C-alpha cells in the first residue's frame, strides 16, 4: 500500500480560540439541539463542515492511509457512541505534522496530527484528546461563540465567520483576525473560552470513561505535556489553543481520584499504529533504535512486536524487501488477518511481483472481512497490478457504495478504468475525486469530457445532472467565502 499513501503538502491547520482555565465545574451544560441555533442550524453546520473539509484536503498534508484511518475511526466511533446529543456522523482524519496538535470544526470533523500519537504513551492518553475534541463539537462551541458575538454586536457576524474560515486555511492569520475582530469585547471572549474548555474537560472526561478508556490517561497526558513545555518560548500549538493551568489540572486529578481504576488495556493495536506513524510519517525511529527495542528483554512483548513491525516498514520503505519479509514473517504467521501486517505483506509481494500469491492472500482475507477498507484497497491495488481490472472495479465500486468520499478508492478506480480503456467512466470518477478537493471547475471539466465520450443517452442525462449539482456546490462555496469577506 506504500505507493498509494499520499499526502497533500501545504499549510497546516488548527481551529479554535485561545483558551485559559477557571473552575466552572457546576456550570450547567447547554441544551444540545438549541445551542447556537439562532446563528447556524445543524444542517447549515454540516454544509459548512463539508465545504471546509474539501478546502482542507487541497491544502493540508493529509494522511490517506487505510490502516491508520481504520484505527482512528474505530477509536473515534467508540467515543462518539458515548457522547450525548450527537446530531451528525463524525469524521476523524490525520494530518502529517510532527507538531502536537488536534482540532475540530463544523459538522463533526476531527483532525489529529501524527505528532500527537507519537507523544502519547498509552491508548487512553491518545483517546483522551479525541474525547476532548468530540466534546467541543457535541457542545457546538464554535457555533455558540458565533452566537455570543452576534448577540453582542450583530455587525461583527460576517467578520467573525470570515476569521473562522481563515483559521481553517491559515491558523496564524485566522486567529490574528479573530482576535482583532473581537478586541472590543476581549474579556467576554476570555470568559466564554474558559467556559468552553471546562465544558470540554468535563464532557470529554465522562465520554472517555464510558467508552472504557482510563480517565487517568487524560491527566497523565495533559500534565506531562504542560510540564514538558512549561518554560519553552513557543509551546506546541495544542497548548496554545488548549492551555492547562494548574487549577484546571488539579480539578482533573480530583475528579479522577474519585473513580475506580480501570484494568490495564491491551495496547497492541495502539502501539502498531504509533510505530507505523513513527517509522513512515514522522520518521522519528531509526533502524538502530528499532533493533535495540526488538532485543530488549525488559520491554513488554507487545512493544517488542511493534518495534519489529516498525522495522519491517523501515526496510520496506528503503527497498530492502527480503529483510522486511523476514521481519514480518513471525508476526503475520501468528496473526494472519491482522490488517497492519496484511498491508505490509501485500506491499512486499507487490514489490517482488508475486501477484498470484498476493491475490490469494487478500482474497482469503476479503472473504473473511468483506469491504474492510485496508483489505479492500490492497486487494484492488494488487488486482490492478496483476491486470485484473474487472476484479478491481468490482471491489472498488462495491466499497464506494458505502464510502463514497474515499480518496484512495476513487484514485484506484479511475486508474482501473483508464487501464481497461473506459475513458468516459474514468473521467466521471476523476470528477468525484476533484470535487472532494473543492476543485469544482476541474470536476465539471472531467464531466464534460465524460459526456462527450459516452454514447449512452441515459448516461449523458446522468452526467448533465451531476454537472448541475457540482455547479450548485461551487456557487455555495463561493457564497460562503464572499459572505465571510463581506
Tracing cell 525511529 back to the chain, one arrives at 285
451 labelled ligand-binding: no
CA angle 100, 105, 110 (to 5 degrees): 50
**Strand pairing of 91-95 and 62-63?**
antiparallel
Q: Give the chain's radius of gyration (CA, Å).
A: 24
Specify whether the CB–CB gap between 206 and 218 falls below 8 A: no
Question: Which contiguous run of DSSP H or E holds residue 109?
Answer: strand 109-113
Helix, strand, coil content of the chain in percent (nearest 5):
70, 5, 30
Residue tagged active-site, from 69, 70, 147, 201? 201
Specify whether the CB–CB gap between 128 and 141 falls below 8 A: no
Q: How many alpha carbons fall within 13 Å on the CB side of residue 129?
A: 31
The three cell numbers of residue 87 are 446530531
| CB count in 10 Å sphere of residue 149 | 24
Specify whether the CB–CB gap between 5 and 64 falls below 8 A: yes
Specify whether the CB–CB gap between 141 and 45 falls below 8 A: no
72/90 Cα distance (integer angstroms):
11
3-class SS letters over 37-67: CCCCCHHHHHHHHHHHHHHHHHHCCEECCHH
147 labelled ligand-binding: no
176/376 Cα distance (integer angstroms):
44
Residue tagged active-site, from 133, 293, 325, 347? 133
3-class SS letters over 416-430: HHHHHCCHHHHHHHH
133 carries an active-site annotation: yes
299/8 Cα distance (integer angstroms):
36
222-232 residues labelled b (16+ CB within 10 A) or e (exposed): bbebbeeeeee
403 carries an active-site annotation: no
286-323 residues labelled b (16+ CB within 10 A) or e (exposed): eeeebeebbeeeeeeeebbbbbbbbbbbbbbeeeebee
Catalytic residue positions, numbered: 133, 201
Residues annotated within the binding site are 132, 136, 197
Residues annotated within the binding site for Zn(2+) are 132, 136, 197
Amino acid at each position: 500500500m506504500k505507493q498509494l499513501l499520499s499526502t497533500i503538502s501545504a499549510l497546516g491547520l488548527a481551529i479554535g480560540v485561545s483558551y485559559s482555565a477557571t473552575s466552572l465545574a457546576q456550570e450547567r451544560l447547554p441544551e444540545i439541539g438549541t445551542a447556537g441555533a439562532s446563528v447556524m442550524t445543524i444542517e447549515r453546520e454540516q454544509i459548512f463542515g463539508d465545504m471546509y473539509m474539501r478546502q482542507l484536503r487541497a491544502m493540508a498534508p493529509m494522511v490517506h492511509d487505510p490502516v491508520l484511518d481504520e484505527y482512528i475511526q474505530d477509536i473515534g466511533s467508540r467515543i462518539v457512541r458515548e457522547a450525548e446529543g450527537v446530531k451528525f456522523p463524525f469524521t476523524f482524519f490525520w494530518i502529517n505534522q510532527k507538531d502536537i496538535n488536534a482540532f475540530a470544526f463544523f459538522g463533526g470533523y476531527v483532525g489529529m496530527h501524527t505528532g500527537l500519537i507519537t507523544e502519547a504513551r498509552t491508548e487512553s492518553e491518545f483517546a483522551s484528546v479525541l474525547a476532548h475534541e468530540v466534546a467541543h463539537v457535541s457542545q457546538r462551541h464554535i457555533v455558540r461563540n458565533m452566537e455570543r458575538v452576534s448577540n453582542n454586536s450583530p455587525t461583527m457576524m460576517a467578520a467573525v465567520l470570515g476569521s473562522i474560515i481563515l483559521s481553517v486555511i491559515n491558523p496564524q492569520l485566522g486567529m490574528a483576525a479573530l482576535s482583532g475582530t473581537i478586541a472590543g469585547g476581549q474579556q467576554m471572549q476570555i470568559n466564554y473560552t474558559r467556559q468552553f474548555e471546562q465544558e470540554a474537560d468535563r464532557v470529554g472526561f465522562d465520554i472517555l470513561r464510558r467508552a472504557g478508556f482510563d480517565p487517568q490517561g487524560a491527566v497523565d497526558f495533559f500534565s506531562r505535556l504542560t510540564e514538558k513545555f512549561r518554560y519553552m518560548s513557543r509551546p506546541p500549538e495544542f497548548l496554545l489553543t488548549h492551555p492547562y493551568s494548574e487549577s484546571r489540572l488539579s480539578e482533573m486529578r480530583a475528579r479522577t481520584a474519585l473513580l475506580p481504576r480501570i484494568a490495564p488495556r491491551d495496547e497492541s493495536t495502539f502501539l502498531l499504529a504509533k510505530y507505523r506513524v513513527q517509522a513512515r510519517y514522522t520518521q522519528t525511529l531509526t533502524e538502530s533504535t528499532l533493533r535495540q527495542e526488538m532485543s530488549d528483554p525488559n520491554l513488554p512483548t507487545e512493544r517488542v512486536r511493534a518495534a519489529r513491525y516498525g522495522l519491517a516498514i523501515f526496510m520496506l520503505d528503503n527497498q530492502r524487501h527480503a529483510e522486511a519479509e523476514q521481519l514480518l514473517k513471525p508476526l503475520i504467521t501468528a496473526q494472519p488477518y491482522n490488517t497492519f501486517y496484511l498491508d505490509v505483506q501485500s506491499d512486499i509481494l507487490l514489490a517482488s511481483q508475486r501477484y498470484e500469491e498476493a491475490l490469494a492472500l487478500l482474497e482469503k482475507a476479503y472473504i473473511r472481512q468483506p469491504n474492510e477498507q485496508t483489505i479492500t484497497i490492497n486487494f484492488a491495488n494488487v488486482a490492478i497490478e496483476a491486470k485484473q481490472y474487472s476484479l478491481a472495479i468490482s471491489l472498488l465500486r462495491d466499497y464506494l457504495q458505502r464510502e463514497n468520499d474515499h480518496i484512495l478508492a476513487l484514485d484506484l478506480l479511475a486508474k482501473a478504468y483508464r487501464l481497461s480503456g473506459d475513458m468516459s467512466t474514468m473521467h466521471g470518477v476523476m470528477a468525484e475525486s476533484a470535487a472532494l478537493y473543492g476543485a469544482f471547475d476541474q470536476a465539471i471539466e472531467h464531466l464534460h469530457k465524460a459526456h462527450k465520450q459516452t454514447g449512452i443517452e441515459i448516461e449523458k442525462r446522468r452526467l448533465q445532472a451531476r454537472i448541475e449539482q457540482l455547479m450548485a456546490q461551487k456557487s455555495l462555496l463561493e457564497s460562503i467565502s464572499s459572505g465571510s469577506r463581506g
